[in-house]
């Protein structure tokens, strides 16, 4: 990756994080930890990898995103707003009456959302269906699936993974957000997930663990041509990445945050963004 592209993707990740904080500030609370951890992956997908058109969000030949880890909805919304799917100011209506941005992604309400998700595990099966349908229709599009590490406690995740590997659905990319935490604590203390990379390989995937908060590593892997096996990327991430106070909060799945705290975070993030200009 050349330096200019890397900087553009890092800038986009900062803009996504700023959007996430804007959403949480307006609401006063929300799922901030797992949203921040996937900001870099979303920046790479929408900044360099995915094929889409904000003016034609239902183009059947577009690449699709399924956010099965529903609590990361604010990160997806921030990305879509930055990329022009809807006005940026709409972010400030997150999960409020009449909003087009409900707590979990809803394809019938939000431009750019490809599948309704939130009931953990179900998005994996839905992504399999989308990708398989595109393949049967002869489309060249790909589907990208975000799965939470805590969400992987659900048996449905592994049924969908087994089907993906068995049928070699190579136009579906699995991305496991391994930020080591879930709602109730650390994943290793609740149900030890063991080695995600080894597990996906045993299901017939081309599986790789990378630093999921490094845009260069993300780009290098996501921009590879499709192989004869479906791709699984284990994103080794930090929950709350990009905001030290959130990173260092143990219970950072969902947080109540005062406006003045958000303002401080926004000032810090905007100062980082200004360094790129």
Asked if pLDDT for residue 277 goes beyond 80, the answer is no
* Alpha helices (H) in 52-103, listed in sequence order: 73-82
Q: Rounded to an integer, what distance in angstroms lies between the CA atom of residue 222 and that of residue 205?
A: 14
Q: Given this model, what pLDDT does residue 78 score?
A: 98
Domain encompassing residue 182: 3-274
Please give the mean pLDDT across all residues of the chain: 97
In 10 A of CB 245, how many CB atoms?
Answer: 14
Q: Which residue has the tokens 């393949």?
A: 135
Sign of CA dihedral 167, 171, 177, 182: negative
Q: Given this model, what pLDDT does residue 1 score?
A: 83
DSSP string, 30-43: E--HHHHTTHHHHH
- Looking up residue 107, the CATH number of its domain turns out to be 3.40.50.970
For 151-186, write each residue's pLDDT tens digit.
999 999 999 999 999 999 999 999 999 999 999 999
Asked if pLDDT for residue 14 goes beyond 80, the answer is yes
Average pLDDT over residues 12-19: 98
Measured in degrees and rounded to the nearest 5, phi and psi for residue 71 equal -70, -10
Q: Given this model, what pLDDT does residue 33 score?
A: 97
Q: Rounded to an integer, what distance in angstroms lies between the CA atom of residue 25 and that of residue 21?
A: 6
Alpha carbon separation from 101 to 26, 81, 95, 113 (Å, rounded): 13, 11, 6, 10
Structural domain total, the chain: 1
Q: Rounded to an integer, what distance in angstroms lies between the CA atom of residue 51 and that of residue 54?
A: 10
Q: Counting beta carbons within 10 angstroms of the beta carbon of residue 237, is it exposed (0 to 12), middle (13 to 18) or buried (19 or more)? A: buried
Q: Which residues are paired to 146 by β-bridges?
A: 67, 175
Q: Are 232 and 208 in contact (CB under 8 A)?
A: yes
For 20-77, write each residue's pLDDT tens digit.
999 999 999 999 999 999 999 999 999 999 999 999 999 999 999 999 999 999 999 9
Instruction: Take residue 14 and report the two structure tokens written for it.
Output: 């900062």
Q: Given this model, what pLDDT does residue 80 score?
A: 98
For 178-221, write each residue's pLDDT tens digit.
999 999 999 999 999 999 999 999 999 999 999 999 999 999 99
């Amino acid at each position: 990756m050349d330096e200019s592209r890397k900087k553009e993707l890092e800038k986009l990740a900062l803009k996504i994080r700023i959007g996430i904080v804007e959403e949480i500030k307006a609401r006063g609370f929300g799922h901030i930890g797992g949203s921040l951890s996937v900001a870099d992956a979303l920046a790479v997908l929408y900044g360099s990898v995915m094929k889409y058109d904000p003016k034609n969000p239902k183009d059947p030949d577009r690449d699709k995103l399924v956010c099965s880890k529903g609590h990361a909805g604010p990160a997806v919304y921030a990305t879509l707003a930055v990329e022009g799917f809807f006005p940026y100011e709409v972010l400030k209506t997150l999960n409020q009456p009449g909003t087009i941005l409900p707590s979990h992604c809803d394809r019938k309400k939000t431009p750019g959302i490809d599948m309704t998700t939130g009931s953990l595990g179900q998005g994996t099966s839905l992504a399999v269906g989308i990708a398989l349908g595109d393949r049967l229709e002869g489309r060249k599009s790909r589907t990208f699936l975000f799965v939470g590490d805590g969400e992987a406690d659900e048996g449905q995740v592994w049924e969908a993974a087994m089907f993906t590997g068995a049928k070699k659905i190579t136009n579906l990319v699995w991305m496991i957000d391994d930020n080591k935490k879930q709602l109730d604590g650390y994943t290793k203390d609740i149900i030890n997930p063991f080695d995600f990379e080894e597990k996906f390989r045993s299901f017939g995937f081309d599986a790789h663990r990378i630093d999921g908060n490094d845009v260069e590593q993300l780009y290098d892997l996501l921009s590879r041509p499709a192989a004869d096996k479906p791709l699984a990327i284990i994103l080794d991430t930090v929950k709350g990445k990009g905001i030290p106070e959130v990173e260092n909060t143990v219970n950072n799945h969902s947080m109540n945050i005062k406006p003045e705290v958000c303002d401080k975070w926004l000032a810090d993030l905007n100062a980082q963004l200004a360094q790129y200009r």
